[in-house]
Structure 1
Amino acid sequence: MNIFAEYFYLFLFHIFSFILKFIPNKIIRIFSILLAKIFFIFNKKHKNIILKNIEYFCKLAKQPQSNQIAKKIYEKFIYYIFLIIKNQKINEKQLLKQIKLFKNDEEFKELLAKKEKIVFTTAHFGNWELLPPAVGLKYNVELSIVGRALKSKKMNEYLVKNRKKFNVGFIDKKNALRKMLKDINNNKLIGIVSDQDASIKESSEFLLYGNKVTQSNAASVIAKRVNAYIVPVYIYEFNGGFCIEFLKAINAKDYSIEELSFYQLECTKKMWEKHISEYFWFHKRFKTFYEDLY
């Protein structure tokens, strides 16, 4: 991306963020519903991926219910994108006000009190961009999130700088191991989104609803390396805002890499079965083994 395009992209982002600041979320929701109906009709490629995932691979729904679920998935995804942009201009109090419940966090607080090393695992689930800053502010901890940098260098720099206001750092997933080790040994928490299809070299292979699937070993490897606890945590809509739910923490030293990865897969499966429309079903989750079926 050339420098002119980068600055123009960033300028549009700031304008859009400024406008959204003055629009109530109820209005944003209505607009998201309208856009979702349009995308559901014309965005056939991603609609087919969603339906293939929930109908064929995971067998969670059939027509006509699966169509209704797909429409809801579009609606929530668009709504969350708007909120992510809007949230770039808010303060700490406004951010935490959006979280109506921190659920099952007693074990997590105990681990913090004992100063245990912690690796967060989550998924592209709910408003996942809101999750790290909310946890960082609520529990007064520093987090380093592992992810892929944006193609736009200027936009990536802006987002990284903005996250730092809320105790959240960023680690580019390219050659991330050394930085992850450094940060976790400096009492920072590591956050990894570990729900997408991964290469066979970087993952373990399991059966999910009777179909072969890969599960990233990234969180398992780093947790095993430093004897950390893996803490699965997810965010979803709740009571006019969001709930952040912690699942059972497990000590990496007590399990193999494969067992740790399987646990992450099972946690995400549990969450999407409870809140199916919150998950990012646009991704070809079973691509490694069934590319031709998409």
Structure 2
Amino acid sequence: MLYTMFVLNRTKLTIIIQMKKGLKNLAKYPLYILSLLPFRVLYVIADLLYFVLYYIVKYRRNVVHDNLKNSFPEKNEQELLDITKKFYVNLVDTMVESLKMASMTRACVLKRLVITNTSEIRQFYDQGRAVIIVTAHYGNWEWGTPIIASVYPEPVMVVYKPVANKNFEAILNGWRSRFGGIMVPMKQTLRAILSCKSKTFAIALVGDQTPVRHEAHYFTDFLNQRTAIFLGVEKIAVKTNMPVIYAHLNRLKRGYYDCTLTTLFENPKDTKLYEITEGHTQFLEQIIRKRPEMWLWSHRRWKFKEEDV
């Protein structure tokens, strides 16, 4: 009797696992086939998506408007509207370009995203040092991992924030890691770094992630607002003394970018408390102010206040 129940439960578990795999593949393969479309066709789809998201669905338009208005109080409504429309264009382009990662070749990656100063990282690799690469939700941040992994033979660990939809997470992480990127859940970052000590590698983090309320331990002035900043970059840098390098992905035109690398801190152990956090945050603000439409304004970046923590 017990054996029969065990077999039945095991069979149920196997069926559930197979069903989950089936659901994952049900989404994965159509997306892959769609990614095979030429860029020019994907951008036609992006134009349609723009019309739907902006004019019909009005996806988070109030959030975008409020974020922009609070960040740029000196701009009038027409200026804010112009930025808003450009933002939605960038958003849908990022969506279809991210989809294209499913089938892009290494040669295509190298053609469409060029690192302007590869020596900025190479100088530390030549010294036998690993590096921290910081970027933000700016331009097409999803293309950052493929280009770093394509240009440098050293491993690239990509820190990501797990999401509730595990099927979507698995698909997206599969695209991100196609050229050698190693996906690391946020809470396992230090463990992953320590497992690779004495080796040269890069670890990439998105520096403008919003901490959850109970982890919002530090606020600073960012885009005219008191903003909770995730301290992960600084904690890792100080603990490991890995140089902190900012990766700025700049859109040249549809489907083409350049990436400029800037060393912000060569020896993090010599910095003061919060100096690294302030450094990469203010560096990002300067970038955003030059081309505000490139940042992810639909994100609820200021969903809680300093006094609420």
Q: TM-score range by the shorter chain?
A: 0.7 to 0.9
Alpha-carbon distance in structure 2 between the residues aligned to 1:60 and 1:125: 22
Q: In the TM superposition, what is the alpha-carbon distance from 1:282 to its structure 2 partner?
A: 0.9
Is 1:285–2:301 an aligned residue pair? yes
Query: Are 2:140 and 1:131 aligned?
Result: no
Question: For 2:99 and 2:72, how far apart are their aligned partners in 1?
Answer: 31
The residue number in structure 2 matching 1:63 is: 77
- 1:266: which partner in 2? 282
% of aligned pairs identical?
A: 18
- Cα distance, 1:285 vs structure 2: 1.6
- Cα pair distance change 1:113/1:60, threshold 3 Å: farther
Distance 2:278 2:73 in 1: 20
> Which AA in structure 2 matches 1:231?
I
Among candidates 126, 130, 136, match of residue 117 of structure 1: 130
Between Structure 1 and Structure 2, how many residues are aligned?
290
- Matched with 2:180 is 167
Q: Does 2:190 correspond to 1:190?
A: no
Provide TM-score, normalisation by structure 2.
0.83
Return the alpha-carbon distance in structure 2 between the equivalents of residues 133 and 192 of structure 1. 14
- Alignment RMSD (CA, Å): 2.6
Q: Does 2:67 match 1:53?
A: yes
Sort the Cα spacing of 1:78 and 1:220 in 2 relative to 1 into closer, same or farther, 3 A. Answer: same
Instruction: Give me the whole-angstrom Cα distance separating, in 2, the residues matched to 1:130 and 1:184.
Output: 26
User: What is the distance in 2 between the residues matched to 1:249 and 1:113?
Assistant: 18
- 148-157 or 253-262: which moved more? 148-157
Partner of 1:11: 26
Offset at 1:60? 6.5
Mapping of residues 84-123 of structure 1, within 5 Å: 84-99=98-113, 101-123=114-136
The equivalent of 2:258 in structure 1 is 243
Q: Quote the Cα distance in structure 2 between the aligned partners of 1:153 and 1:45.
A: 23
Q: In 2, Cα distance between the equivalents of 1:78 and 1:186?
A: 38
Q: Give the counterpart of 1:255 among 262, 265, 271.
A: 271
Q: Which moved more, 1:217-226 or 1:74-83?
A: 74-83
C-alpha distance in 2 between matches for 1:13 and 1:288: 36
Q: Normalising by the residue count of structure 1, what TM-score does the alignment of the two structures yield? A: 0.87
Evaluate the alpha carbon distance shift between residue 150 and residue 90 of structure 1 in structure 2; reply closer, same or farther with a 3 A threshold. same
Partners of 2:253 and 2:59 in 1: CA distance: 33
Letter in structure 1 aligned against 2:242: A
CA distance in 1, matches of 2:148, 2:88: 26
Q: Return the index of the structure with the highest Cα Rg.
A: 2
Structure 1 residues 67, 267: CA separation in 2 closer, same or farther (over 3 Å shift)? same
Q: Structure 1 residues 36, 163: closer, same or farther in 2, change over 3 A?
A: closer
Q: Secondary structure at the match of 2:227?
A: strand
- 1:67-121 deviation per Cα after TM superposition (whole angstroms, max 9, x unaligned): 222122112111211111122112211221211x323443322222222221111
Answer yes or no: is the 8 Å Cα contact 2:207–2:230 preserved in 1.
Answer: yes
More displaced 10-residue stretch of structure 1: 246-255 or 118-127: 246-255
Aligned to 1:33: 47
SS at match of 2:182: strand
Contact 1:205 1:213 in 2 (8 A): yes
Q: Name which of 208, 213, 219 aligns with 2:227.
A: 213
For the pair 1:75 / 2:92, whether they are aligned, the reply is: no
8 Å CA contact retained: 1:102, 1:244: yes
- Deviation (angstroms), 1:289: 0.8
Gap regions ≥5 residues in structure 2: 1-15
CA distance in 2: counterparts of 1:185 and 1:202, whole angstroms? 32
Query: Which of 263, 275, 279 is matched with 2:291 structurally?
Result: 275
1:236-293 CA distance string (max 9 Å, x none) = 311551111212331212213411001111121122112211111111222221799x
Matched with 2:36 is 21
* In structure 2, distance between residues paired with 1:180 and 1:202: 24
